[in-house]
Amino acid sequence: MKKISNNIFFITLIFGTLVTISSNSWLGAWMGLEINLLSFIPLMNDNKKNLLTSESSLKYFLTQAFASSILLFAIIMLMFMYNNNFLLNNNFNEILILSTLLLKSGAAPFHFWFPEVMEGLSWINGLILMTWQKIAPLMLISYNFIYNFFMISIILSMLIGSLGGLNQTSIRKLMAFSSINHLGWMLLAMMNNEMLWMTYFLMYSLLSFSIVLMFNNFKLFYFNQIFNISMMNPIVKLLIFLNLLSLGGLPPFLGFLPKWLVIQNLTNMGQLFILTISVCLTLITLFFYLRLSYSIFMLNYQKNSWMLKNNYNNKMSSINLMFNFISICGLVMIFMIYMIM
């Protein structure tokens, strides 16, 4: 019975997002966001025994309900003052709507709820929060462009996303700060090109799916668990950290491709100041991924020479390995196809 209800909620979650992105009025978009929110809350509470899950779902509900109420207020004000349900022609209204959408997506300076909510979720729910739940707000943000406000949000998202992850011991919080950093890049891509941020989002979702599947498979939530897994196959451990480096945007991997496209686009547009800041702050995120990878491979830790059971022989392994291959070798494959054509 529980599985059926979860499937129904998951379908309405998808339906809510589709209502928002296909809506032709702000009120319709708001309704889609509400359907999406009310479908995700029961999915978050899948483990009744875990108090952190209940706490996370409550925090998520309160922040999203607060954002929704302000968004509805701005929409009603728009309709009363201008008798108009889609065009924005008032700066205050624009800033109000953009702020609520940035709060819903978890971009800085409205990011405070995001790492806290991620900390209490299971990996699959965390993946939904990092990827699918961002589609509707980002699509609405792309309709509502204020240059100065965008610039502040982009720089703050990249700064907080890179510095926030430096002192973390929880992998879920690290992924949350990484997501905030990537959100800054998506907003940067959105400033110049509609197709570019969608491409970035698709690549980011693919990389997140690949690495979250891996963490979920081995039930890894904290760094010390990775140090203590003496049974883990070294090749699998290598795959986890190549995936992390790909997510950070290291050049030979697929994660570098969307950043490369954004860098090229910004160079063509002559926006070198914001480009320099973005690249420098992303190097910090790459530093904490590298630090984690280095310490896990180079430091001594206790290792059993018996009971060498491979935990990787389950039904998800083939899917997982396929996504790992795409994440690690995707850029090389794309380059080779391009050369042939």
What is the pLDDT at residue 9?
Answer: 94
What is the pLDDT at residue 87?
Answer: 62
**Percentage above 70 pLDDT, the chain:** 90
Please give the structure tokens belonging to residue 321: 């390995």
pLDDT band at 41 (very low <50, low <70, confident <90, very high): very high
List of residues 6+ apart from 337 with CB closer than 8 A: none
What is the pLDDT at residue 182?
Answer: 96
pLDDT tens figures, 133-149: 999 999 999 988 888 99
List of residues 6+ apart from 170 with CB closer than 8 A: 119, 221, 222, 223
pLDDT band at 239 (very low <50, low <70, confident <90, very high): confident
Is the model's pLDDT at 284 over the cut of 60?
Answer: yes
Q: Mean pLDDT check: name the lowest of 1-15, 90-104, 249-263, 283-297.
A: 283-297
Quote the CA–CA distance of 34 and 37 in Å, as a whole number: 5
pLDDT band at 299 (very low <50, low <70, confident <90, very high): low
What is the pLDDT at residue 149?
Answer: 92
Please tell me the pTM assigned to this model: 0.92
Q: Which residue has the higher pLDDT, 234 or 189?
A: 189
Give 138: exposed, middle or buried? Use CB within 10 Å, 0-12, 13-18, 19+.
Answer: buried
pLDDT band at 73 (very low <50, low <70, confident <90, very high): very high
What is the pLDDT at residue 314?
Answer: 63
Quote the CA–CA distance of 289 and 297 in Å, as a whole number: 12
What is the pLDDT at residue 339?
Answer: 86
**Percentage above 90 pLDDT, the chain:** 56
Give the angle subtended at the CA of 105 by the CAs of 197 and 95, to the nearest 5°.
90
What is the pLDDT at residue 98?
Answer: 93
Is the model's pLDDT at 289 over the cut of 90?
Answer: no
Q: Which residue has the higher pLDDT, 35 or 328?
A: 35
Q: Mean pLDDT check: name the lowest of 67-71, 249-253, 260-264, 277-281.
A: 249-253
φ/ψ (deg, to 5) at 144: -130, 85
Quote the CA–CA distance of 282 and 241 in Å, as a whole number: 17
Q: Mean pLDDT check: name the lowest of 162-166, 235-239, 253-257, 275-279.
A: 235-239
Mean pLDDT across the chain: 87
Most confident of 49-58, 171-180, 221-230: 171-180
